[in-house]
Amino acid sequence: MSKVIKGGTIVAADRSYEADILIEGDKIAAIGAGLTAETVIDAEGALIIPGGIDPHTHLEMPFMGTTTAETWESGTYAALSGGTTLVVDFVIPGEDGMMKALDLWEERAARQACSDYSFHMSITGWSKQIFEDMATSVSRGVNTFKHFMAYKGALMVNDDEMYASFQRCAALGALPLVHAENGDLVAALQQKFMSSGISGPEAHAYSRPPEVEGEATNRAITIADAAGVPVYIVHVSCEQAHEAIRRARQKGMRVFGEPLIQHLTLDESEYFNQEWDHAARRVMSPPFRDKAHQDSLWAGLQSGSLQVVATDHCAFTSEQKRFGLKDFTKIPNGTGGLEDRLSMLWTRGVETGRLTPNEFVAVTSTNIARILNIYPQKGAILPGSDADLVVWDPKASKTIKAANQKSIIDYNVFECQQVHGLPRYTLSRGEVVWGAGANEPRPGRGKHVKRPAFPAFAKALTAWKELTAPRAVNRSPEHMPIGV
């Protein structure tokens, strides 16, 4: 059955214009004036944007001795209610290795996901098996590999392991992602604060200063350059990391940076709150920073040196956070944001004039679709694209309350924030999955979005590296020392 979205203004990354959108099956069939269909979706007074893509989530992830409480069902339903139609989640290999972990993630998502989903693979060591499994992962639609430079003794990898993995990524046409913090230094600073008697959540911020992130970001970029591969830095939280990315990009390097909506809108004063629970609920890595760093991140989005706004949705309950009551290093790291990313960014970004509506679409959907090599299937409003669309009402407003959220966590780091801009309808592959009475989770409806390797920017970098590679000087015998 065909549908038409009528009366709205289409906001794409490149322009805004008034037109109807005809949907046939799960695809956009036509865009233009006066289109008709059996079903009409009213977009009067609203904008139509491509469904949000959140490229950084951790649903049901085992981490720090526990497992994130947000399930695939609750997390993806929360995503749809906030206008996000695709989540990309991190597979963490356990003792059974990479492929078993991917099986597990695929199985959980297939059974529960309400929105579409895709996967990044994590590299947590180096071996011949991992080398081989990386190729198998790519053949199963994973074109991104995550490297943690922090979490010493757990997920952390060293420089030589990163260099080996980055070279493998280059050969496979895959993109390395990096959590950039100097893990050795963090571990040492954590011990320093614990032994000096500062054991509360405030010490989490003290033990991860911006320099620690800036140094690691610079190191990751250096390793990527040596390996001849583009690199994507996740959860960029501070000027020092942004500066390293900006500098690399100015030199023509293929480096991408992803700030989170939390770092853009919440600051480090949260950790000094009198209430332990309040502070601990906001413990994530890197920590929230002061306002000057926030200004830097906003400027990065405005100028294009940072390209994507994600959430790193990694949601633990208050009870789980209390594992670290006596020792801040045991507070499970992570915060939520999946449900509120678009509304928070609209309110704090577009309404303030920091971002245009088109820039908003670019950083919440289009740019990451390009980086992940799924554009224009996702991230676009074009004939032939998946009909992942949000009828976005810029006048609708709400006060964020944990009590009303779809996420199953017992708090919300944006509690009491007044936001403007909400989905009137969210469509996933042509079906209304939020709004107009379609307000029930539909687990199992989500589809796995497999991503091909070799995006254009990776091919371009490989060509350039080959052209400029060091070459041996071929010396004829008469130019060689005699008798040696």
With helix as H, strand as E and coil as C, how does 146-204 read? EEECCCCCCCECCHHHHHHHHHHHHHHCCEEEEECCCHHHHHHHHHHHHHCCCCCCHHH
Residue closer to ligand URP by CB (options 334, 441) is 334
Question: Which C-beta is closer to ligand URP: that of 58 or that of 370?
Answer: 58
The one-character DSSP state at 69 is S
Write down the least CB distance from residue 189 to ligand URP, Å: 16
What is the spatial distance between Cα 35 and Cα 20, in angstroms, rounded to a whole number? 6
The token duo for 476 is 């004829």
| Residue 246 near which of ligand URP, Zn ion, none (CB within 5-8 Å, type-dependent) | none
The entry of ligand URP, Zn ion, none that residue 351 binds, CB within 5 to 8 Å by partner kind: Zn ion
Nearest residue (CB) to Zn ion, 322 versus 420: 420
- 414 vs 399: CA distance, rounded Å: 9
Q: How far is the CB of 59 from ligand URP (least distance, A)?
A: 11
Residue 347: CB minimum distance to Zn ion, A: 6
Pairing outcome for strands 52-57 and 27-32? unpaired
Burial class (CB in 10 A: 0-12, 13-18, 19+), 123: buried
Q: Which is nearer to ligand URP, 280 or 314 (CB)?
A: 314
Residue with tokens 């009213």: 42
Distance CA 157, CA 161 (A): 6
Could you tell me the smallest distance in angstroms from the CB atom of residue 22 to Zn ion?
Answer: 32
**With CB cut-offs between 5 and 8 Å by kind, which of Zn ion, ligand URP, none does residue 284 bind?**
ligand URP
Q: Which does 420 bind (CB under 5 to 8 A by kind): Zn ion, ligand URP, none?
A: Zn ion
- Three-state DSSP class for residue 379: coil
CA 357 to mean position of chain CA atoms? 20
Minimum CB distance to ligand URP, residue 180 (Å): 10
Tokens 């071929």, residue located = 474
What order of strands is seen across the sheet that includes strand 3-6?
A: 27-32, 20-24, 3-6, 39-42
Q: At a CB cut-off of 8 Å and minimum separation 6, what does 127 contact?
A: none
Closest to ligand URP by CB, 170 or 297:
297
The residue nearest ligand URP at its CB is 333
| Closest distance to Zn ion from the beta carbon of 275 (Å) | 25
42 binds, among ligand URP, Zn ion, none (CB under 5 to 8 A by kind): none
Binding site for Zn ion (CB under 5 A): 179, 312, 351, 420
User: Under the rule (CB under 6 A), what is the footprint of ligand URP?
Assistant: 58, 179, 235, 284-285, 312, 314, 333-334
Helices (runs of H) and strands (runs of E) counted in the chain: 16, 19
Looking at the Cβ atoms of 171 and 187, the one nearer to Zn ion is: 187
Residue closer to ligand URP by CB (options 225, 258) is 258
Q: Which is closer to ligand URP, CB of 305 or CB of 333?
A: 333
> Could you say which of Zn ion, ligand URP, none residue 334 binds, taking C-beta under 5 to 8 angstroms by partner kind?
ligand URP
145: β partners: 121, 176
Question: Shortest Cβ distance from residue 67 to ligand URP (Å)?
Answer: 12
As measured in angstroms, the least distance from the Cβ of 148 to Zn ion is 6
Minimal distance, residue 94 CB to ligand URP, in Å: 15
Q: Which does 333 bind (CB under 5 to 8 A by kind): Zn ion, ligand URP, none?
A: ligand URP
Cβ atoms within 10 Å, residue 143: 26
For CA atoms 101, 107, 113, 118, give the dihedral sign: positive
Of 57 and 305, the one with the shorter C-beta distance to Zn ion is 57
Q: For residue 376, is the peptide bond before it cis, meaning its omega torsion is within 30 degrees of 0? A: yes
410 alpha-carbon distance from chain centroid: 23
